[in-house]
Amino acid sequence: MKRTLGLLLLVLLFGAMKMEEEPKEAFKNRMGSHGNGAKKVVIGYVGGFRGLVNTGLISPEKLTHINYAFVDVQGNRAFLTNEKTDTVNFRKLLLLKQKNPALKILISIGGWAWSKNFSDAVLSDASRAAFAASAVDIIRKYKLDGVDIDWEYPGRPGEVGNIYRPEDKQNFTLMFEALRKELDVLEQETDQKKLLTTAVGGFSDFLLHTEMDKAAKYLDYVNLMTYDYYSGKVAGHHTNLYASKLYTSANSADIAVKAYVAAGVPISKLVMGIAFYGRNSKVEPGTATGLGATYIKGEFGSGYTRIKDSLINKKGFVAYQDRDANASYLYNTNTQTLITYDDEWSVREKCKYVVAQQMGGVMFWEYASDPKEYLLNEVVRSFK
């Protein structure tokens, strides 16, 4: 009898312990690994504009969202320019949910090359409604999870030939209102949350031509493109977290974050951009490391996998770290070539910043630039 009672007490005690553990675990999951309100998002842009995507190289368990780039804007509608390959890509991307059922897949509309017609597409109530309906029809048809807008840029020049006008400032907001209305309808149809996000310039001038406080009310995340910083006169970092003391610059991720918060965007919706590629600058000779030298010309550089495996302290390139800017770079004195980029160290520092500031998470452009996942693995480690 005593033995039976003892066993019964042990069972009751074990049950009580489990009841205590489960709420703690549930709380941890709800609060995220940092306990600051939410699990950090990891948004990867995947380039379908090249053709078929090799989804076998994508690790869905390391991501929370995939933004499929890009959908064009034609005839005031969201338009699948490469429909034959896009539809195959959508099907293959959806199969990744077998490994990560929580993964969200969005279409990203626009980008640098396909932002020409945004201004016309959202110019009137009627055109905005038609554009929004066409965008949501795509995700309805292919059973996707949301829409990302990458308009480069409302109210100011982007690529040569892009249409822009002062009215873009208000129409940018009204576009999101129209999209959110259509997404709400789809939510009711499917009983599933549908997301609305945007990629925005990581520089303060973008805020002069938009109403980000009003737009943010319709958005789940605001992806800061905190990369492609460069000047026509001085060679500097293209994806630095802070300002460098080696040259004068108006741009950094920290400056962008503070500017967007000051403009009224909740910091929990802001997502830090990470560059999975480098930028190359040809500079005037005469400096030891190239940083801050007179800029001659520049171009997109290699992806980080090639930088790490083939260029760091190889082929005449010497690696440096700017500890003030939290940014890495290479310089070749023979060719006067400066390469600036994100590496594991700078990514780790960006992730620390995201956690400390209670931002939404990180996003990166783009997956194919780092096929060995050096940087993505660092993001995952940092957010554990």
Beta bridge partners of residue 318, listed in sequence order: 331
Same domain, 45 and 18: no
Same domain, 5 and 79: no
* CATH number of the domain to which 236 belongs: 3.20.20.80
Same domain, 105 and 151: yes
Q: Is residue 21 part of a domain?
A: yes
Tokens of 65: 């969202």
Same domain, 125 and 215: yes
Same domain, 102 and 5: no
Q: Is residue 325 part of a domain?
A: no
Read off the pLDDT of residues 139-185 as tens digits, 9 standing for 90 and up.
Answer: 999 999 999 999 999 999 999 999 999 999 999 999 999 999 999 99
Count of beta carbons in the 10 Å neighbourhood of residue 13: 10
Q: Read off the pLDDT band of 232 (50, 70, 90).
A: confident
Same domain, 22 and 58: no
Read off the pLDDT of residues 11-43 as tens digits, 9 standing for 90 and up.
Answer: 333 343 333 333 333 333 333 333 445 799 999
Q: Is residue 16 part of a domain?
A: yes
Distance CA 163, CA 166 (A): 11
Cα angle, residue 259 at apex, residues 237 and 341 outer, rounded to 5°: 20
Count of beta carbons in the 10 Å neighbourhood of residue 106: 24
Same domain, 163 and 235: yes
Task: Give me the amino acid identity at 162.
Answer: N
Residue of higher predicted confidence among 16 and 99: 99
Same domain, 21 and 135: no
Q: Edge-to-edge strand order for the sheet containing 337-341? A: 295-303, 277-283, 337-341, 327-332, 318-322
Read off the pLDDT of residues 266-319 as tens digits, 9 standing for 90 and up.
Answer: 999 999 999 999 999 999 998 899 999 999 999 999 999 999 999 999 999 999
Question: Domain span at residue 23?
Answer: 1-31
Same domain, 2 and 95: no
Model pLDDT, residue 37? 52
Same domain, 27 and 45: no
Same domain, 162 and 239: yes
Read off the pLDDT of residues 192-215 as tens digits, 9 standing for 90 and up.
Answer: 999 999 999 999 999 999 999 999
Residue of higher predicted confidence among 366 and 13: 366
Q: Is residue 74 part of a domain?
A: yes
Mean pLDDT of the chain: 91
Task: Give me the amino acid identity at 377.
Answer: N
User: DSSP labels for 7-32?
Assistant: HHHHHHHHHHHHHHHHHHHHHHHHHT
Rounded to the nearest 5°, which phi and psi values hold at 78? -70, 130
User: C-alpha dihedral over 86, 91, 94, 96, to 10 degrees?
Assistant: -100
Q: Is residue 340 part of a domain?
A: no
Q: Is residue 60 part of a domain?
A: yes
Q: Identify the CA nearest to 331 among candidates 235, 243, 232.
A: 235
152 a catalytic residue = yes
Read off the pLDDT of residues 121-147 as tens digits, 9 standing for 90 and up.
Answer: 999 999 999 999 999 999 999 999 999
Q: Identify the CA nearest to 144 among candidates 86, 222, 220.
A: 86
Number of domains, the chain = 2
User: DSSP labels for 24-55?
Assistant: HHHHHHHHTTTTSSSPPEEEEEEEGGGSS--G
Whether the pLDDT of residue 4 is over 90: the answer is: no
Same domain, 67 and 156: yes
Tokens of 306: 């090639």
Q: Is residue 124 part of a domain?
A: yes
Q: Is residue 260 part of a domain?
A: yes
Distance CA 340, CA 325 (A): 12
Among the listed residues 152, 211, 349, 378, the single catalytic one is 152
